[in-house]
């Protein structure tokens, strides 16, 4: 908080004698700083903007991350109030559940991300999802007419891998160490460290597809995400990776200055 006084420095607020002129009152102006929003509040702002893309009768693909949870909650509230109807997407909060087999065409997919390139000309994104989510997530998003990513501005990076968070690669269990070594070698110039993901008991984490996950940690960002995605996928035994490239149609970003939308 800043305080501004319009009283001249030479003027005293108390007179030294009874004959002195009365002191002038000071005018104090206090500048109130804007409230600082929490990360959850920013996520909720982005989620609210994403829900504006939803209309009654849609088939939705909804993510499972913390930001996507705000989307699901708001859609659930709109369904409960009758402002939305006939929505298919997620079982929680009263949204009926379906599968890609039953609904091979999806109107809209909404998900969060761990990283988004801050370059306005790019809406590539990298996301670290729970076990088994990357293959299923890409299938859902590829089947969608629109794919909207919702993030707060802490997720913006100059290059994918720049946040220091793990970038997952799902691999078959057979010779997983061989692929772990190859993945680390592939990104040695980025200072990559490859680690097998473990469960709370210290055993290898097994995905929904009965595979393992190798998490990649980068000291410096990936220079060419598209090339990296192709090279990872070319390895025998790699099932899927966490780079979602050229898939998003819109990215909604909430920050201290408001909500912005990057469009493909």
DSSP labels for 88-142?
A: BB-SGGGPPB--TTT---EEEEEE--SEEE--TT---EE---STTHHHHHHHHHH
User: Which domains are present in the chain?
Assistant: 39-258 (3.40.50.1360)
Residue 130, pLDDT above cutoff 70: no
Q: What whole-number distance in Å separates Cα of residue 200 and Cα of residue 215?
A: 16
Gap between the terminal Cα atoms of the chain: 41
pLDDT at site 202: 96
Residue 203 has a CB neighbour count (10 Å cut-off) of 8
- Put simply, whether the predicted model's pTM sits higher than 0.85 gets the answer no
pLDDT at site 135: 79
Q: What whole-number distance in Å separates Cα of residue 111 and Cα of residue 251?
A: 10
The pLDDT tens digits for 234-258 are: 999 999 998 888 888 999 999 888 8
DSSP secondary-structure letter at 153? G
Radius of gyration of the chain (CA): 26
**For 62-88, b where at least 16 C-beta lie within 10 A, e where not — what string?**
bbebebbbbbbebbbebbeeeebeebb
């Amino acid at each position: 908080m800043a305080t501004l006084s319009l009283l001249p420095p030479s003027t005293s607020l108390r007179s030294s004698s009874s004959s002195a002129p009365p002191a002038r009152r000071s005018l104090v102006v206090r500048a109130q700083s804007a409230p600082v929003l929490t990360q959850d509040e920013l996520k909720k702002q982005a989620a609210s903007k994403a829900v504006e893309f939803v209309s009654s009768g849609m088939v939705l693909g909804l993510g499972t991350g913390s930001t996507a949870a705000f989307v699901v909650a708001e859609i659930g509230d709109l369904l409960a109030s009758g402002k939305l109807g006939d929505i298919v997407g997620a079982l929680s909060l009263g949204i009926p559940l379906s599968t890609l087999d039953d609904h091979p065409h999806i109107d809209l997919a909404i998900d969060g991300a761990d990283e988004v390139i801050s370059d306005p000309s790019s809406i590539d994104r990298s996301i670290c999802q729970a076990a088994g989510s990357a293959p299923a997530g890409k299938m859902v998003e590829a089947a969608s007419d629109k794919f909207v990513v919702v993030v707060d501005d802490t997720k913006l990076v100059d290059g994918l891998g720049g946040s220091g968070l793990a970038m997952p690669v799902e691999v078959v269990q057979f010779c997983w160490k061989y692929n772990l070594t190859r993945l680390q070698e592939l990104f040695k110039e980025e200072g990559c460290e490859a680690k097998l993901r473990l469960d709370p008991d210290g055993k290898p984490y097994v995905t929904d597809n009965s595979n393992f996950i190798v998490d990649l940690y980068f000291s410096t960002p990936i220079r060419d995400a598209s090339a990296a995605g192709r090279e990872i996928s070319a390895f025998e035994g790699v099932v899927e990776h966490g780079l979602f490239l050229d898939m998003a149609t819109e990215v909604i970003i909430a920050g201290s200055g408001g909500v912005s939308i990057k469009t493909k």
